[in-house]
Chains A and B, each alone.
Chain A
Amino acid sequence: MTLNTTAETETAKIARGLRERDMELLADLVERCQHRLVRYLLYLTGRREHAEDLAQETWIRVLQRGSQYNGRQRFDPWLFAIARNLAIDYVRKKLKAVQTVSLPNDRDAMLLLPSSGPSPFEAAARSEDAMRLAGRLQILSPLYREALLLRFQEDLSLPEIAQVVGAPVTTVTSRIYRGLAALRSAFEEGGDSPGV
């Protein structure tokens, strides 16, 4: 009960601060969330430089639309949802600029288009196991990567993840299971089956 009350007070304080464009509060939020925001965008786009740029864009959007945060749910899922929409728009814009083929109508499908360049996951792996997962993560569908990150690194609940990705909880759960299955094969004997 006390913990709930504290959480409500915290989110209400954030909502008020965002409405008033309180720089002190924003500095606190940046300090607390910037690192995680970049990590999320990295999982989503698979590209370091995109992640840094999109994180900055996300904070501008938070500043502009801060009054839309109602303080009834946690701040983090709201922040990630903004970042996700920006990432999709960014990929769409970038692809429109470089190619003339028609783009998918489904917003999520934008994330499925292949990305090139070196894997940021290998550079970030801090253990032998993580190194084995890095290769799999790079070829894993961003939708699965995203679901795994939100569940196991950000520790968001399934309904919160559903809120971020704008999909039903059942879809989110299925993505986590499939992602886990694809990564688990990295540790299995002869674990070189293709990623999902």
Chain B
Amino acid sequence: MIRLECDKRFRELIDRSFVEGVSEGERQLIHDHIRDCDGCKRYVELTARTIRGLREFTFTSEADSNAQVLEMLAHHTGTMRQHNVQFKIWAAFAVALSMSIVGSAFVYQVAKFLAAPMHFDTAQVQAGVLVFWLLPSFCSALCLLAAPGENRGIA
């Protein structure tokens, strides 16, 4: 072990110069000090050698490592896109279904108002809304699930 004949704070300053960086003044201080102090000079050399040694490790990856990663990523991207499309389809279906139910209630109110002067009874209005609004809109929502992905305009 290097003997700590110098002030411990000096060694800390040397360490700091390698790890965190020091001011120009502190650098000059170290420079001046190690000119006269063999212990600290050796400390600086050993620290520099250790850091240099750390940079002299070369880890070689498997030759096709990058290709394997890219292939795996491409596969995952495809799967994720597919899941994403599925999610969007079900979300669109849910929205379409809600709209057809909410819309039916609105259309029923309008139809009831318009049918009153023409003396249609409630059952007739309800049948009309069912045939001309609720069923077509419900079928449209179902079509979202049935049509192939590329024709849905979602993917």
A169 (CB) vs chain B CBs: closest residue: B20
Asked if B49 and A177 sit within 8 Å, CB to CB, the answer is no
Asked if A173 and B47 sit within 8 Å, CB to CB, the answer is no
**A interface, size bucket:** 35 or more
Stretch at the interface among B56-64, B93-101, B112-120, B126-134: B56-64
Set of chain B residues within 8 Å of A151, measured between Cβ atoms: 19
A60 to B61, CA, bound (A): 18
**B interface, size bucket:** 20 to 34
User: Count the A-B residue pairs with Cβ separation under 8 angstroms: how many?
Assistant: 109
A26 to B54, CA, bound (A): 29
Asked if B80 and A30 sit within 8 Å, CB to CB, the answer is no
Asked if B46 and A153 sit within 8 Å, CB to CB, the answer is no
Given known pairs A176-B19, A180-B15, A188-B1, the reply for A127 and B69 (CB within 8 Å) is: no
Set of chain B residues within 8 Å of A42, measured between Cβ atoms: 59
Asked if A52 and B58 sit within 8 Å, CB to CB, the answer is no
Given known pairs A42-B59, A158-B20, A180-B19, the reply for A152 and B69 (CB within 8 Å) is: no
Asked if B57 and A121 sit within 8 Å, CB to CB, the answer is yes
Set of chain B residues within 8 Å of A23, measured between Cβ atoms: 70, 73-74, 77
A27 to B53, CA, bound (A): 31
B73-104 interface code vs A (CB 8 A; 1 in, 0 out):
11011001100000000000000000000000
A124 to B61, CA, bound (A): 11
Asked if B59 and A124 sit within 8 Å, CB to CB, the answer is yes
Asked if B2 and A188 sit within 8 Å, CB to CB, the answer is yes
Most buried by A among B19, B50, B56, B61: B50
Interface: B10 (CB within 8 A) = no
Interface: B154 (CB within 8 A) = no
Interface: A132 (CB within 8 A) = yes
Asked if B59 and A34 sit within 8 Å, CB to CB, the answer is no
Closest chain-A Cβ to B116's Cβ sits at a distance in Å of 54
Set of chain A residues within 8 Å of B106, measured between Cβ atoms: none
Interface of A is mostly: helix
Interface: A69 (CB within 8 A) = no
Asked if A38 and B19 sit within 8 Å, CB to CB, the answer is no
Interface: A15 (CB within 8 A) = no
Closest chain-A Cβ to B3's Cβ sits at a distance in Å of 11
Interface: A193 (CB within 8 A) = yes
Cross-interface CB contact of B18 among A21, A39, A59, A180, cutoff 8 Å: A180
Asked if A34 and B56 sit within 8 Å, CB to CB, the answer is no
Q: What are the 6 tightest A-B residue pairs by CB atom distance, in nearest-first order?
A: A129-B53, A130-B56, A127-B56, A124-B57, A133-B53, A39-B59
Known: A56-B69, A63-B80, A184-B50. 7 other contacts (CB 8 A): A23-B70, A129-B49, A133-B50, A133-B53, A134-B57, A177-B19, A188-B46
Could you list some 16 contacts between A and B, CB below 8 A? A30-B66, A34-B66, A56-B72, A59-B72, A63-B73, A121-B57, A124-B57, A129-B49, A129-B52, A130-B53, A134-B57, A152-B54, A173-B19, A176-B19, A180-B50, A180-B51
